[in-house]
Amino acid sequence: MMHTLCKLPFFGVAEASGADAAEFLHSQLSNHILDLQPGEACFATYNSPRGRVLANMLVLRRADRFLLVMAADLLEATIKRLRMFVLRSKTVFHTDSAWQVYGQSGADTGADAAALKFAAEEGDNGLITLVLAGGNRMVLSPAPLPDADCPAAAEAWQAAEILQGRPWISQPTAESCVAQMLNQHLLGGVHFKKGCYPGQEIIARAQYRGQVRRGMAVCCSAQPVAVGSKVEADGEEVGIVINSAAHDEAFVLLAVIKHGAAGKALQAGGQALQTLKLLFETEADE
């Protein structure tokens, strides 16, 4: 069963165009942007030189431009930083895009969560639908849609993203994690065979030397916990809350925690956390 479209105010859209846009984005983002054909999309991260994720995004290639979908509160800062490195590249960014982001929940289509790129579906009405692993759809509209403001449905869409283990970085969590802590290497967001990009050396070293000591966990709490809250165990900081949403009269959240904190009593924002699922292997799993 497909649910009605709902506006997702969490997201914003920037546009990149110009003769060198593909090459420039390829040089800055973690995925193989040059592999994208018009009508194809991928996930990617934009990282600091230290390998920390400044923003993660969905990148859609159209005939003459790219659409970059990311947290709205990161849009201006991310594009401002990208513009700093354009130099002589024939690439132009716009943050005043008319594109709007909507969500739709439905049955799991079996989409490959690890795919490095996937096709977008563009209808005669101009709507572009991206089917995400787990059943959620992200729908891009070139203009606002009537009667699509439904906070409860948007919250349910976000909860489904959390339960699927797909994080979205926002202002409170920017630069808090490397890509692997956010499972971007398992969610199609990192291409390990492409050339250099900011943070690439750190991300590659962490991957091949097994130096990642934190990973994601799906948790729940009785009361809301603010994104960016510290996760604690035994009185010590062991992680950070990445996303949070209401779900089934409680709240679900994605947290990045130390591997060693798995199995411990966790709390964040004064709330006890129940771990529903670990999205990394523990020593007991090996």
CA distance 8 to 163: 17
Nearest one of 132, 212, 118, 199 to 166, comparing CA atoms: 132
Predicted confidence at residue 129, as pLDDT, reads 96
pLDDT tens track of the chain, all 286 residues?
A: 566 799 999 999 999 999 999 999 999 999 999 999 999 999 999 999 999 999 999 999 999 999 999 999 999 999 999 999 999 999 999 999 899 999 998 888 888 999 999 999 999 899 999 999 999 999 999 999 999 999 999 999 999 999 999 999 999 999 999 999 999 999 999 999 998 999 999 999 988 888 899 999 999 999 999 999 999 999 999 999 999 999 999 999 999 999 999 999 999 999 999 999 999 987 544 4
Is residue 201 classed as helix, strand or coil in its secondary structure?
helix
CA distance 167 to 158: 10
Predicted confidence at residue 286, as pLDDT, reads 40
Predicted confidence at residue 211, as pLDDT, reads 80
Contact 40, 119 (CB under 8 A): yes
Predicted confidence at residue 1, as pLDDT, reads 52
Predicted confidence at residue 262, as pLDDT, reads 96
Report the predicted TM-score, pTM, of the whole model to 2 decimal places: 0.96
Nearest one of 142, 108, 99 to 124, comparing CA atoms: 142
Q: Scan for tokens 């990148």, then name that residue.
A: 59
Sorted by where each starts, the structural domains of the chain and their CATH numbers stand as 6-164 (3.30.70.1400), 213-286 (2.40.30.110)
- Looking at the DSSP bridge assignments, the partners of residue 220 are 252, 274
Predicted confidence at residue 2, as pLDDT, reads 62
Residue 211 burial by CB count (10 A; 0-12/13-18/19+): exposed, middle or buried? Answer: exposed
Predicted confidence at residue 235, as pLDDT, reads 94
Backbone angles phi, psi at 200, to 5 degrees: -60, -40
CA distance 191 to 116: 7
CA distance 283 to 286: 5
